[in-house]
Amino acid sequence: MEKLSQILIIFHVIAGFTAFLIGPFAIFSDKFGKPHRITGRVFSIAMAVVFITSIIVCIYKNNVFLFMVAFFSFYSVVSGVRILKLKKLGTQHFARWYDWAVHGIFLITCLSFLSYAIYLYSKHGFNVLSVLCALFAIGGFFSTRANVKPFFKKAQKPGFWLDYHRANMIGAYVATVTAFSAQQLHFMPMILQWIWPTLLIVPASRYFNKKYQSIKVGS
């Protein structure tokens, strides 16, 4: 099992490094151009490999932090990709059972995170892991609520799907970079390890989104 774990870690590192490098090209490129589609596809595949290897390794290594990041980031990727197939929600497109299943599974996972945070607090009081579990759970609840909201509407504004796609994919990349930072960039103050990806990536992505907002989006 130890040898298998080492092999999975190698695949995990390669896929994670690929997602880390290719992510900016997907985020900051023209959302309607071929480079974006290609880099976005590579990013999604890399994140799928990261997710699969993370789940197996974190169970073997008992790494709760890696487990949380893996679920949160891959849920964002799946939601971001799936909305591209639901551009006409409420009229010609409708959420399928597997759409509900994805959000339901993630919601149950978030409830598990919150329960574990409460358990850790009852045993040890406030600590880093209990706070992280609670924050991931709360963030997951808000993310799930936002992603299922359009499922209940009969009509959507033109191009609504782009907002959901963009938010989820950026969220996945931020979570991935934050995990790398928290585990590797120990020369930074702890608080900075956690917040610099959000402070840097989100404003930059908004700038590029405004740059391309003049392009008409099909409904």
Q: For residue 160, what are its two tokens?
A: 């609504």
CB atoms closer than 10 angstroms to residue 118: 14
The alpha carbon of residue 61 and the mean position of all alpha carbons in its chain are separated, in whole angstroms, by 22
- Taking the CA atoms of the chain, what radius of gyration do you get in angstroms? 18
The mean pLDDT values, 10 residues at a time, for the chain of 219 residues are: 75 87 80 80 91 81 77 90 83 83 92 90 80 85 89 76 85 83 76 76 66 48
CA dihedral (34, 161, 104, 57) positive or negative: positive
Whether the CB-CB separation of 111 and 47 falls below 8 Å is answered with no
Cβ-based burial of 62 (10 A; exposed 0-12, middle 13-18, buried ≥19): exposed
125 backbone φψ class: left, alpha, beta (φ>0; ψ -120 to 50): left
Whether the CB-CB separation of 37 and 23 falls below 8 Å is answered with no
Give me the pLDDT at residue 181, please. 80
Give me the pLDDT at residue 149, please. 87
CA-closest candidate to residue 175, choices 213, 212, 141, 139: 139
Give me the pLDDT at residue 101, please. 93
Q: For residue 140, what are its two tokens?
A: 């997951």
Give me the pLDDT at residue 217, please. 45
Three-class SS state of 93: strand
Give me the pLDDT at residue 212, please. 54
Give me the pLDDT at residue 214, please. 47
Rounded distance between C-alpha atoms, residue 33 and residue 46, angstroms? 20
Residues 6+ apart with CB under 8 A from 151: 89, 95, 99, 100
Give me the pLDDT at residue 104, please. 93
